[in-house]
Amino acid sequence: MPLVRFHYQLEVYRDAFDLAIILYGHTKAWPATEQYALSNQIVRSSRSICSNIAESWGRRDYTKSFRAKIVDALSEAYETITWLEFAEALALLSAQNRTSYTHRYHGVAARLHNMRENASSWCFDGNR
């Protein structure tokens, strides 16, 4: 595996980013009544996963700070899964799409759990 130098080279970041773009595309077709409710929430939480991964990458000098931002990203992934459930329940997203995206977000969450549990291997403090 090549050396990861930037957060955007992480597979977990790329997957979360791709999903955020896909969900944004779905929300464009949702009714205006959902523009400031569900649409806004799902777009914000899905983007927040990526931004928290990026922020964690910048905090690798401190394992606890890195871990905290990974936990934030993980929380946003689970929030996004919840918004997907609402979207399906409101017939804004098909069951097939919701299942597919939920499965992919569980994959993102599993990798984030792994990063959290192995934070010291990603960080510099104590590894110099």
127 confidence band (pLDDT: 50, 70, 90) = very low
Q: Which residue has the higher pLDDT, 33 or 45?
A: 45
Mean pLDDT computed over 17-34: 95
Chain segment 42-75, per-residue pLDDT in tens:
999 999 999 999 999 999 999 999 999 999 999 9
Q: How far is CA 72 from CA 40, 50, 54, 64, 128, in A?
A: 18, 10, 11, 12, 26
Give 117: exposed, middle or buried? Use CB within 10 Å, 0-12, 13-18, 19+. exposed
Its pTM surpasses 0.85: yes
Mean pLDDT computed over 93-108: 98
pLDDT at residue 126 in the model: 52
125 confidence band (pLDDT: 50, 70, 90) = confident
Distance CA 13, CA 50 (A): 6
